[in-house]
Amino acid sequence: MSSIRIFILGALDARGEMHGHQLRLLAEEEHIDQWTDITVGALYGAIKRLATEGLIEERRVEREGSFPERQVWGITAEGREALGVLRHRGLRQIVHKPDPFDLAMTRLDPNKLDDVEAILLTRLSSLRAELLDSQTHLQTIKQYLTVAEQVVMNHKAHRLAADIAWHEELLGQLPEIIADELSRRD
């Protein structure tokens, strides 16, 4: 699933023709990087890929003042069809990406078992700080967001809260994990 494709195609479909800089400004205005996996810098590469695939097309080139020429893009009929498919998949598909942390926990360094608790406490502290930052940021920008955007940003907070609860559980089981690792050493 490609969030950046949904963003670009959806923006061109809803708002009409735009150049890359306008798409970038829209992404910044909507704080896309705060609640999606989209980085604003990746927009231009994605625009080129979508154009190569025929999902968007250059409609014209414009120049404002001393700014460089900019290609203005519009969504194609194929792009609208692809957008429909992407929206459908995006709503139906559940994505959970593996966390390298999980593998690292199953491959602990037997000579550094004493360090694991401090590492977990640091992770837990970082997660709590990220949750607080996320909640504070949401309150700060809430007035600029649609209801759907507010709900989605709150989804991030719920995921962080679940991750915090899991880390707390892991810390509770750490003595058992360490004992098991030590028994394997012998």
Same domain, 82 and 25: yes
Same domain, 116 and 144: yes
Q: Give the per-residue pLDDT at 186.
A: 66
Q: Starting from the edge strand earliest in sequence, which strands make up the sheet with 70-75, in order?
A: 18-19, 70-75, 56-62
* pTM of the full structure: 0.74
Q: Which ranges of 36-115 would DSSP assign to H, the alpha helix?
A: 43-52, 77-92, 100-106
Parts of the chain with a pLDDT under 70: 1, 186
Q: Give the per-residue pLDDT at 1.
A: 56
Name residue 109's beta-bridge partners: none
Q: Give the per-residue pLDDT at 39.
A: 83
Q: Give the per-residue pLDDT at 36.
A: 80
Domain boundary among 92, 121, 137: 92
pLDDT in tens, 23-32: 999 988 887 8
The SS3 of residue 97 is coil
Domain of residue 127: give its range. Answer: 100-185
